[in-house]
Chain A
Amino acid sequence: MDMWDNLDAAEQSGELFRDRLSQTEGFNFTKWFDGVSRYVKPAVLAVAVASGATGCANMAQQALGKQHTPYQSMVAEAQELDAMPKSELRNIIEGRTHTNLFDHLERKTITELASQISQSPGMAVNLGGELALENPFVPGQLIQVSENDDWSANMTIAFEGGFGLANAIQTPFYESPHALNGNNNEGAVSSFTDPSKPSFIVLPDKMSVKWPSMMQDKEESVAFTLFHEAAHPHTLQEVALHLDQGDDTNKIKAHHNTYKILNENHADVTAAVAVFKEYDLTPEDFIRKLNDLKGYFDMTTEASGMNGSPNENFGPGMYRSQKAIDVLIEITERDPEFLKSMEYEEIPLLAFDVVRQAGYHHNAAELILDKRMESISAELANRDQSKENAFVGTLERTFPENKNLAQSINDLRQAQSDLVSRVTVEAYTSNLAANIMFKDQDLPHRSINEAMAATKKNPVDGFDVPTLIESHVAEVLKRTEPEKLFEHLESLQTKLSRVLQVMPDRETIQEARLDALADIRQELIELNLDARAADKSSVVATGSAEGDESIADKMIQKYGIDTSELPDRLELASQHSSPAL
């Protein structure tokens, strides 16, 4: 929205306010409003406020009863997520966009903020107002960070986050750092369908070092806390979505407590890996710190009576938080650089598998990694597809008649769809191989669902992949004998390998995709040139000092698509690099 739009909206909301005042019948608000008694305290307002008021104690009671121990709030959240159709949840996650609500605030990265706080006496937070924190796990997302007694910020949280007054009144009395996820806050279920709702982190007056071996590294400790909080808004829905796809789901539903533990563990594991990467710790130092992290309060949930096979070890009593740490240590011992080499975006995805598989199934690093790495690229391919779909959707709406553009858009869609099919089937095949190799009966349900969904949406020539998978899984689920199970998995693996041979390989697809994007970029440049030539006084011709190429790049980048590889792809592009002005 430009300046005038904002002013128009403010004017409209002013009119609404007047309406609301004048429509409050029986209280004579209109008279009050008209300024007759502008500076006289209106008794009528006092009546309006007092009558039907719940009273403060009541409000607090409601708040306490409804949501306000962190545990109760987690339970409510888990129930709310459970009740939601998973397809809807997936749509929300895929369609998630970020508002520029916090664009006007000063931007900080986690390390900048951690450095600032750790250097202030007594680790006082002293933000001096709201900040926009860049969420390293969600590119493009800004999280508002504020102090708990910052009333101006609390108001934004209450209103923009949709949390309501009662919640914001609670906020100043939380003494620990916490994250509030506007995408999912109890008492504002409607916000769930509004993926653009912002997220918030609220900090206490001062921070403390909670991870003991970090006494000497206050900045790392503060950064750990901030990474932990930044992981929450990213993952609540994702966690809920994944929980519905494994065989441990029903157990988790019965024990919402576990949901909280899982969430906190997930944020801890994500934060630990992020600190390792960000501060370039030595593997030895990281392992030493991880061993200390086992004593961290979220990590001490330990099973009381382990017995039987891993498949029987479900439920809160069987969940072992510390196993996640063991897995991180094992990964680092095997490959000291592996965790550091992950993109920030990928860390929460790996962390989720670590806490779930290690915690419930007590799986070791080898198994988790084997199953995981392929799935990460599948998830990222899905995310790229959503971004590009948003982009070409806008293009189609804006230039419905442009034939060149329509052709390139088709090419891009085809390439994306090929890529998503390919990587999800690869991920599933590789997960199957891990199951077979380690004789692991914990089927990769999530991977199965993804492969089916992707190949349904993006069919493979000559193969009905979804039916193939479906019939095999049905067969597998009927059998209880392990040997039969693995026989079936092997036969499915063989068939899927054949499917993969038919599909175009990744390089070919990637080439096609980049070519299509480069064609689109070129067409955007042409459109800009045409507009400039058609009307010398138009905004295009006079409004911007930028070249046509950088305008085209900006349009593409706005959708989060990387344009760095595009300019070299078309010789045509270079002919227009210095357009006549």
Chain B
Amino acid sequence: MSIDAQLSNHARQTEKVRGAWAKALQARTLKSLEQLRSMAAMNLPSERRRQMENLIETAQTYSVFIEDLMGLEQGGSIEKVGKMLDQINTHCNLIDRAYHQSQNI
């Protein structure tokens, strides 16, 4: 394959991938929202209840942010918002770990 062909092939694939990527992150975010709600339903100390509400709100914000990103029609690069996606992903990992820990208490 010529470099040009590779590149345009790549461009197509990258476009496709961007959707898959955002969907996967969205799925993760929604999962973390579920996990947060399930933890919030536990018998928590009062100062932690506020934190849980806060985290639920943040997760909803993340979800909206990703939704918007998916809706963009411009072929813009997601690299620009890479760090923000990174933070969302970190959030999902942290909540996932906390959730598993809460199940083992």
Contact surface of A with B, Cβ cutoff 8 Å: 1-4, 6-11, 13-14, 16-18, 20-21, 33, 38-39, 41-42, 45-46, 48-50, 52-61, 63-64, 104, 149, 151-152, 154-156, 159-160, 164-166, 168-169, 172-173
Contacts and interface: CB of A to CB of B under 8 A. Distances in A.
A6 B79 contact: no
A57 to B, nearest CB: 4
Contacts of B54: 11, 14
Contact of B89 (A38, A50, A155): A155
Contact of B98 (A7, A164, A169): A7
B72 A165 contact: no
B7 A61 contact: yes
Contacts of B69: 45, 49
B43 interface: no
Given A54-B77, A165-B78, A17 B58 contact: yes
Contact of A7 (B55, B83, B105): B55
A50 B11 CA distance: 16
A39 B87 contact: no
B98 A155 contact: no
Contact of A45 (B17, B18, B48, B68): B68
A57 B7 contact: yes
Interface string B67-86: 01101111111111111111
B24 A49 contact: no
A152 B76 contact: no
A49 B3 contact: no
23 contacts: A7-B55, A7-B94, A10-B55, A10-B91, A11-B55, A13-B91, A13-B94, A14-B54, A17-B61, A49-B77, A49-B81, A53-B76, A53-B79, A55-B75, A104-B96, A149-B20, A152-B27, A155-B25, A155-B28, A155-B89, A159-B86, A164-B82, A169-B14
A224 to B, nearest CB: 30
Interface in B8-40: 8, 10-11, 13-15, 17-18, 20-21, 23-25, 27-28
A41 B68 contact: yes
A385 B30 CA distance: 46
Nearest to A14: B58
Contact of B72 (A14, A38, A46, A155): A46
Interface of B is mostly: helix
B76 A46 contact: yes
Nearest to B71: A41
Contact of A2 (B55, B79, B80, B101): B101
A50 B68 contact: no
Nearest to B62: A17
B55 A53 contact: no
A53 B88 CA distance: 21
B82 A165 contact: yes
Given A10-B55, A49-B74, A151-B21, A56 B79 contact: no
Contacts of B10: 56-57, 60, 63-64
B105 A56 contact: no
Contacts of B6: 64
A39 B71 CA distance: 12
Interface string B44-57: 00001001101100
A11 B51 contact: yes
A18 B65 CA distance: 11
Given A42-B68, A155-B28, A56 B80 contact: no
A20 B81 CA distance: 10
B56 to A, nearest CB: 10
A22 to B, nearest CB: 12
Contact of B74 (A13, A50, A155): A50
A2 B52 CA distance: 16
Contacts of B15: 56
Contacts of B100: 104
B13 A3 contact: no
B7 to A, nearest CB: 6
A172 B11 contact: no
B25 A49 contact: no
B94 A6 contact: yes
B61 to A, nearest CB: 7
A23 to B, nearest CB: 11
Given A151-B23, A155-B24, A3 B98 contact: yes
Contacts of A13: 87, 90-91, 94
Contact of B51 (A7, A56, A57): A7
A187 B34 CA distance: 35
B24 A151 contact: yes
Contacts of A155: 21, 24-25, 28, 89
B34 to A, nearest CB: 15
B51 to A, nearest CB: 6
A391 B4 CA distance: 56
Contacts of A6: 94-95, 97-98, 101
Contacts of A173: 13
A169 B74 contact: no
Contacts of A3: 97-98, 101-102, 105
Contacts of B64: 38-39
Nearest to B22: A151
A152 B64 CA distance: 18
A418 B29 CA distance: 54
B101 to A, nearest CB: 4
Given A10-B55, A104-B100, A166-B79, A60 B11 contact: yes
Contacts of B27: 152
A520 B8 CA distance: 64
Contact of A169 (B17, B89, B96): B17
A244 to B, nearest CB: 35
